[in-house]
Amino acid sequence: MTNLYGWGIFRERAHSPGREGDDAEILRLTGKHLEAHGYQVDLKDPEDVSGPIATRPRFVFLMCEREDVLGDLAAWERAGVRLVNSAAAVLATYRDRMIAQFEEAGVPFIASRLVTTASGAALRDASPALPVWVKRADVHNTQEGDVVFADTARAVEDALAGMHARGIGRAVLQPHEPGDLVKFYGIGPGGGADGGPPWFRWFYHRDQTLSGHPLDPPALARLARRAAGALGLEIYGGDAIATPDGRLVLLDLNAWPSFALYRDEAAPVIAAYLVQRFGGGAR
């Protein structure tokens, strides 16, 4: 088996609501650019990890997020298969884990409170100042009801009850932070300009009325790099708020986003980074 044989694993369709095509396309393009570097790549679904495998790959680049699939891939990793992102890093993006790791690493992050979804418990235990965002505490967004804006106590209770009815035991309460919503993508660890990652792009979320609050792009890049480093992510994206007083508030960090607005630019950069990683380059 050649050392240049690997898999690309798609994200679960349930974890890409409304973005299935974008998520799949960045993985396909990355695979094509890897093949141009002389690699042999097979693209797989997450279910293929636990199925019969004729030839285990030497490396895997992955977008999957399900805990059981990541558990299998972690075992592959221990056996010597190289993964980007690592299984542990992807699991670290689950909100309940991410909050703890950011706190331990001193990464500035929006105030977040873990609560049970049992009836009324969140309001008794947390007494949140309204409005808040109610978010499931594990994966980021699979369907309507996973992330809910709540401006009344009843809305908080309803959001939690909806999650509880679906078997989601915990949620995160986060205050609504006024400002301009910024999205960003990053590839690689430190080493870029101004202390950010080697490749970094940001843009304003389109579904908003921009206020034009102060924004320092190098500071955003440094915040993104620091947050990604705390979780062990190498290919990532996220969201932040540029506040009226010029602060940056990190809202979320995700493993391997769609890179939709920068797909054609990002895919060859990702592939070149993977060549370094899978060819023995330093992580």
- Do 250 and 270 fall into the same domain? no
How many Å apart are CA 75 and CA 81, to the nearest integer? Answer: 9
Region 240-256 average pLDDT? 95
- Do 19 and 55 fall into the same domain? yes
123 CB-side CA count, 13 A: 16
- Do 104 and 232 fall into the same domain? yes
Q: Say what the pLDDT of residue 195 is.
A: 85
Residue 31 CB contacts under 8 Å (≥ 6 apart), including other chains: 8, 41, 43
Final residue before a domain boundary, out of 159, 175, 191:
175
Q: Say what the pLDDT of residue 1 is.
A: 47
- Pairing, β 235-242 against β 248-255: antiparallel
Q: Say what the pLDDT of residue 282 is.
A: 36
- Do 162 and 186 fall into the same domain? no
- Do 101 and 207 fall into the same domain? yes
Q: Say what the pLDDT of residue 210 is.
A: 87
Q: What is the CATH number of the domain that holds 224?
A: 3.30.470.20
- Do 182 and 246 fall into the same domain? yes
- Three-state DSSP at 58 gives coil
Q: What percent of the chain has pLDDT over 90?
A: 76
- Pairing, β 180-187 against β 199-204: antiparallel
- 90 in a structural domain: no
Region 46-70 average pLDDT? 91
pLDDT digits (tens, 9 = 90+) for 100-115: 999 999 999 999 999 9
Region 58-87 average pLDDT? 96
- 199 in a structural domain: yes
- Do 251 and 267 fall into the same domain? no
- 156 in a structural domain: yes
How many Å apart are CA 70 and CA 90, to the nearest integer? Answer: 8
Q: What are the structure tokens assigned to 184, written together?
A: 């960003």
Distances (CA, A) of 266 to 25, 44, 152, 249, 279: 12, 21, 41, 25, 20
pLDDT band at 283 (very low <50, low <70, confident <90, very high): very low
Residue among 46, 69, 33 at smallest CA distance from 272: 33
Q: What are the structure tokens assigned to 234, written together?
A: 């190498």
Question: Which pTM value belongs to this model?
Answer: 0.91
- Do 9 and 81 fall into the same domain? yes
- Do 224 and 99 fall into the same domain? yes
- 201 in a structural domain: yes
Q: Say what the pLDDT of residue 190 is.
A: 78
- Do 10 and 52 fall into the same domain? yes
Domain count, the chain: 3
Residues in the chain: 283
- 283 in a structural domain: no
Average pLDDT of every residue of the chain: 90
Task: Supply the range of the domain harboring residue 34.
Answer: 5-85+263-278
How many Å apart are CA 16 and CA 95, to the nearest integer? Answer: 17
- 118 in a structural domain: yes
